[in-house]
Structure 1
């Protein structure tokens, strides 16, 4: 049976205020974020001219994950996402492991996104700008999920407009050559899988729709519609951007780019778009940060309800109907990280953790129906997540496995202490 009680300290419940459009926007705000401005370059370095096949592999795995997440969210419309699904379908330990993977990995991602904002807005004061961004967006989230959805809608509109200008500028220029889409050194299957692993996280934002399960109206109908719709829009956007950048820079040029989309519009002969791209990247990072804080705080709420985290974090504000203590705690941790550490080069474990999170989502969905046909999609998703996770650079795999081991040790210690 689904557990949606708020537990001690949660005198009020979360308010169901998000419709289909709001849910789609929240997902897009997570998927069409700073990654679209940066991910094509490392993916091109990994796959060479196999970048587009890598994007296709990432999309297939993301589709399987989205389908599994949608089915589970319709059955268990509670905050927490795969933490709840794993707990209900696989057992308490697996749910905890999913929640741990999400909270730890995405908290680091929040700090990275905040520092990305600082790097684009004021590089000399990147840490100060990052902290200010975290404080401001935590305040927006504190005021209610509907306000967050409105701000996310504005962010998505700006980023889509910037990306449309980039695509139009590249495709309409004399520098675009369709022959470059398949030019350059082709990587083997390992390179394509690694590129898919890097690009996969462009699509991982649909989890934010599921983690807001208690704040969506008619979740059994809305969430299964919102997740594939948001994923489809994101895939179309990423495909257009990848084709535009490849057609101007080629795989080798894209692999060498520090700022791929800015370099693409410059090479296309429209340097006037460079500052627009920089501004768009900053806005996109803000949108990703906003959605990430939403998702992490809701999973924190769910884990606090089960006492895997301090029970005080399960409180829901009686007026704003948000998990205010969880949001403030997440905001404080992210602000400290953003002020003191440059985590952009040290969050490889986040990639590994998110794939572990979705592997558990697929394993949970596999238990919903014994029919072989119904189990095919979650099986493909589970195998795909494992393949992409272990295709990542070995440092990411080692760090990610280490972080998961720390979580397992903490769970074991808690169970041991409770049994004494």
Structure 2
């Protein structure tokens, strides 16, 4: 495929949202209304930065009348009702009254969409969500495919059916129900596609090679730029166009840094370094045919997991969780548990798909079966229990943190992460193009 040439220079990020004090959790959960410029949170105005693809004009959309909202919960900041609302999260885009902000509505009321075929794993702990907004899904699908095909040439023509079957637009709309605009959703969609291009091209189904470490490191420089001398800088810049993985990373990150604050961008880079470290561990085990102990596998999966996706929930939502709140050990534990639980959900839904892939593909049921001497069915059902234990821990730790830190930005972020966890399960359970279940029930 021909090189696309260097990307245009992108403007730097706009000013970070203003910081506020810490009103009560009840204030944080109060009903809100949105405009294109701001979202009211507990009687305060939280600016949201306008975000749109570089070089394009915003798409005009008709504003919908403000819906009626449920009253703010009464009682102390750490009341059970308030905490339950945080953990429950919004139940899809059809339930506007649960949203923190709503700055973009469909131009017309669409016909009710038929529910996607869904087959949740029996016994897997999860929360159902409403069907994603079909208007957003359709338009986001058009935009993300245009980016992937025309802008970065992320995949060869023979992969088009796989790209369509991935249903990235339905995935992102389900996971980010509070995204103010389609442009915010595109931030997440580009990064999701780019991460999957890297995984497919460098790591999956026989793509792993002895030089995978070097390839991943050079791809990572598309996210975390090299600072070198004038003599060698041009060669590095030219390398960013050398394959689909680097083209995708570079472009997705340029859009992201144009919308995120410096702290949000640095947070994402850190989590992507974690992801790549996990890729390297899995590649090393594959190369040496090493089957890890169950605890070792779970340690690897804490790095090779979905964590970079929910960690950007505030950027996609149009606000910022301040660095000092994100860095709290309790917040880091919540984010880690969310990433671990959702990744094991992926292990379980992709189990049959991976059995058909070349070689021995490590996932939690396979490792449990081999290391603990269980049958395939017994190991799979035990893996379901491990996932459920992590989900319960995630919800308990979220509730404890919400009670201990009654800052509306922390509450909003926790709610966004919970919504991402639920949307991620919805996508796996309903993506029958990619996933089938074993006959264990």
Do both proteins adopt the same fold according to a TM-score greater than 0.5, normalized to the shorter chain?
Answer: no
Q: Kindly indicate which of the two structures has a greater share of residues assigned to helix.
A: 1
